[in-house]
């Protein structure tokens, strides 16, 4: 489905933003420079009549994103957690996207459940409610098991959601390719790889069997975490398009007024949500990667309840140690060590000046160290970080996208609960505990033992491997003739079309 025909979708995206009034709102929220504002309006205005109308009852940005489709809604959900970047007003508008989207009919959901589970709904559920929450990919119904009386949440995918997502992702590929052609300097950010990563994440989210598995693993990992609960899946009532979990009763974490009325301490909750995320990422290497307020509740006992496990992140032991050392370096204000870790991990090209990089990192850390969140401009910080990555030739690490994105979202959730939270103060005990156990002599001995175990498994195969290597060295294979190059003249018309679109759309994007 990829190709120039997706230019139509991009034109309609700009036209929809213009028709709904979202273009001006978004440009203002991101403080776009005058040149970008003029270019975007000139590109959007002539095609305004082609845009989707959306729901006139919704605010402009929310109206545009809901009309454009699920992938755009996902983007809006992330922005809704960052009022410090997009502004308080736009952030509040976008929270509608977290779990208040228009649902599809109850009878359609029941038919989908019966088709998936091959059993009548009234045979397994004695009660089955109207939708209680609806998001971009699925909606949730409250139900009661017929045999035990246990209350459960039944999640059902939206009809046709996979096809809708694929259309959006195809258009995103064209955006990424156009950006690479029009602005070659962006290739270090690997936009095509980023979209491919996003596609993999989303396609996994559309199989609820994988989400059930993630929920079970996450529940097992966090079973002993104080003040945190994860509903467990009901496996025999779960499939690809349907998932059944234990019901989680609580107050949505996006409702500060209700949290205060219930007597919960928001400062405690803010610190807990941040420290829990760090613990899960560092201790387990498996973390909830979609932790916006719409996926979190506060139980009657003050515990944080997480749900919606469609997007989970996993990082290996080495990456966890790198991440912990970078955080610890910032906490200790040891910017030279932070720079060294970046070079050792290959995040910065070896030909760059390590002292200059350390100085740039100091300019990042010093203005925010010891500050409460209300005195930190995350928008300016992210802008400067982008400048640093460009200056030192740092490429996007697709394996870290979920970790970095979730850190931004979680920090935004913590800020929404406690505007004066000191993120370094909260992070310090978690990071120090991890480093004490995993960086040092004890960790070295553990690594050596693990290496010995791995090598031991290859012991019986070593003689044959050595013999095969010696034979190959004595009689190397003859090199194959290089394949004949195929003509690529047919790509010229396509390139012209994409370039023409890119010149116009680059500024808008």
Residue 351 is a catalytic residue: no
* pLDDT score, position 501: 35
Walk across the sheet containing 125-134 and list its strands: 125-134, 138-145, 151-157, 242-246
Positions in the chain whose pLDDT score sits under 70: 1-6, 30-33, 35-36, 39-44, 78, 81-85, 98-99, 182-183, 185-186, 188-189, 369-384, 386, 396, 398-399, 440-444, 446-447, 455, 458-459, 474-509
Q: Per the residue annotation, which of 290, 308, 334, 355 is the catalytic one?
A: 290
CB atoms within 10 A of CB 187: 14
The 10 Å Cβ neighbour count of residue 309 is 27
Nearest to 204 by CA among 284, 137, 293, 299: 137
Q: Give the relative orientation of helices 208-221 and 191-205 as an angle to the nearest 10 degrees.
A: 90
Helices (H), 183-223: 191-205, 208-221
Token pair 């909830």 is at which residue?
Answer: 288
Give 285's DSSP letter: S
Give the H/E segment covering residue 11. helix 7-19
User: What's the DSSP call for residue 158?
Assistant: P
**401 by DSSP, 3-state: which?**
helix
Query: Please, are residues 307 and 248 in contact by the beta-carbon 8 Å criterion?
Result: yes
Q: How open is the CA angle 155-230-125, to the nearest 5 degrees?
A: 40
- What pLDDT score does 31 carry? 67
Least Cα distance to 319 among 346, 357, 288 occurs for 346
Strands 312-314, 296-298: pairing is: unpaired
Both tokens assigned to 264: 């919960």
Q: Two tokens at 161?
A: 């959601």
Q: Strand pairing of 151-157 and 242-246?
A: antiparallel
- Residue 76 neighbours by CB distance under 10 Å: 23
Residue 487 has a pLDDT of 40
Decide: 259 and 302 in contact? Cβ < 8 Å: no
Q: Which two tokens stand for residue 229?
A: 């609960």
User: Rg of the Cα trace of the chain?
Assistant: 25
In whole angstroms, give the CA distance from residue 80 to residue 119: 39
Q: Which helix (H) or strand (E) holds 509?
A: none
Among all chains, which residue has been given the structure tokens 């996007």? 396
152 vs 142: CA distance, rounded Å: 6
The span from the CA of 269 to the CA of 259, in Å, is 10
What is the number of other CB atoms lying within 10 angstroms of the CB of residue 473?
Answer: 8
Residues 6+ apart with CB under 8 A from 33: none
């Amino acid at each position: 489905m990829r190709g120039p025909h997706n230019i139509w979708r991009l034109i309609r995206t700009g036209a929809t933003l213009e028709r709904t009034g979202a273009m001006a709102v978004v440009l203002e929220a991101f403080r776009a420079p005058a040149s970008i504002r003029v270019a975007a309006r000139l590109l959007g205005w002539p095609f305004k009549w082609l845009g989707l109308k959306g729901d006139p009852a919704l605010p402009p940005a929310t109206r545009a994103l809901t009309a454009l489709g699920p992938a755009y809604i996902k983007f809006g959900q992330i922005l809704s957690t960052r009022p410090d970047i997009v502004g308080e007003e736009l952030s509040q508008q976008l929270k509608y996207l977290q779990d208040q989207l228009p649902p599809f009919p109850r009878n359609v959901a029941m038919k989908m459940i019966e088709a998936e589970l091959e059993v009548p709904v009234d045979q397994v559920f004695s009660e089955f409610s109207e939708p209680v929450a609806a998001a971009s990919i699925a909606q949730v119904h409250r139900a009661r098991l017929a045999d035990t009386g246990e209350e459960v949440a039944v999640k059902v995918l939206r009809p046709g959601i996979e096809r809708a997502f694929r259309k959006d992702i195809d258009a995103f590929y064209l955006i990424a390719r156009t950006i690479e052609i029009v602005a070659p300097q962006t290739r270090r950010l690997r936009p095509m790889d980023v979209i491919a990563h996003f596609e993999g994440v989303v396609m996994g989210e559309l199989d609820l069997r994988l989400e059930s598995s993630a929920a079970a693993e996450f529940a097992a990992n966090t079973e002993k975490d104080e003040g945190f609960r994860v509903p467990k899946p009901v496996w025999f009532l779960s499939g690809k398009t349907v998932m059944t979990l234990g019901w989680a009763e609580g107050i949505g974490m996006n409702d500060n007024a209700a949290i205060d009325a219930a007597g919960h301490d928001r400062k405690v909750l803010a610190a807990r949500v941040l420290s829990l995320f760090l613990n899960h990422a560092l201790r387990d290497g498996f973390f909830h990667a979609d932790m916006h307020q719409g996926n979190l509740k506060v139980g009657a006992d003050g515990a944080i309840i997480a749900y919606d496990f469609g997007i989970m992140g996993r990082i290996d032991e080495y990456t966890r140690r790198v991440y912990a050392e970078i955080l610890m370096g910032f906490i200790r204000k040891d910017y030279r060590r932070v720079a060294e870790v970046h070079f050792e991990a290959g995040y910065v090209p070896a030909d760059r000046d390590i002292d200059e990089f350390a100085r740039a990192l100091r300019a990042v850390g010093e203005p925010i160290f010891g500050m409460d969140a209300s005195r930190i401009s995350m928008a300016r910080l992210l802008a400067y970080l982008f400048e640093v990555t460009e200056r030192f030739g740092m490429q996007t690490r697709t394996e870290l996208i979920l970790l970095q994105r979730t850190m931004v979202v979680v920090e935004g959730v913590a800020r929404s609960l406690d505007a004066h939270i000191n993120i370094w103060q909260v992070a310090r005990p978690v990071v120090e505990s991890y480093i004490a156990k995993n960086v040092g002599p004890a960790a070295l001995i553990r690594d050596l033992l693990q290496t010995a175990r791995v090598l031991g498994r290859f012991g019986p195969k070593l003689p044959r491997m050595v013999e095969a290597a010696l034979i190959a060295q004595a009689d190397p294979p003859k090199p194959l003739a290089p394949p004949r190059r195929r003509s690529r003249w047919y790509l010229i018309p396509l390139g012209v079309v994409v370039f023409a679109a890119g010149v116009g759309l680059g500024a808008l994007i």
